[in-house]
């Protein structure tokens, strides 16, 4: 008989799988089914949703860092 995975353990496994995909999700590199699965999971899992929100802010901040450099022509290195 196949042992049934404890629901909490199954949830954690799912969380781990989703978290591995978050960058691809943000970059639009997942296929539709995978992206839908991440959307569904983050809608119901508060921890993964918070992680996705904060990862989104982090990536937006990195891009803003590049934008602010480009806008001011800053290289901070002997310009």
Partner 1 sequence: MTRAADDDEHLVARAQAGDRDAFDQLAERHSTRLRRVLFRITRDCDAAYDAVQEALLRAWKNIGRFEGRSQFSTWLTRIAINEAYRGLHRPVEEPLELSDHVGERIASWGSRPDEIFETREFLAAIDRALGELPLDYRTAVTLRDVEGLSTAEAAEILGIGERALKSRVHRGRMALRAKLDDYFKSGYV
Name the residue nearer to partner 1 (CB basis): 8 or 71: 71
Cβ-based nearer residue to partner 1, 7 or 28: 28
Structural contact between residues 41 and 48, judged by C-beta atoms closer than 8 angstroms: yes
Footprint of partner 1 (CB under 8 A)? 19-20, 22-24, 26-29, 51, 54-69, 73-79
Residue 26 is encoded by which pair of tokens?
């943000």
Complex with partner 1: residue 6 or 68, whichever CB lies closer? 68
Name the percent of the chain in helix, strand, coil, to the closest 5: 75, 0, 25
Q: State in angstroms the smallest separation of the CB of 10 from partner 1.
A: 22
The tokens describing 15, both together, are 């969380």
């Amino acid at each position: 008989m196949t042992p049934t995975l404890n629901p909490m353990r199954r949830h954690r496994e799912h969380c781990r799988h989703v978290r591995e995909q978050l960058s691809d999700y943000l970059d639009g590199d997942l296929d539709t089914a995978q992206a839908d699965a991440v959307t569904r999971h983050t809608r119901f899992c508060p921890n993964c949703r918070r992680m996705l929100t904060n990862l989104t802010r982090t990536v937006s901040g990195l891009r803003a860092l590049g934008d602010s450099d480009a806008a001011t022509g800053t290289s901070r290195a002997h310009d």
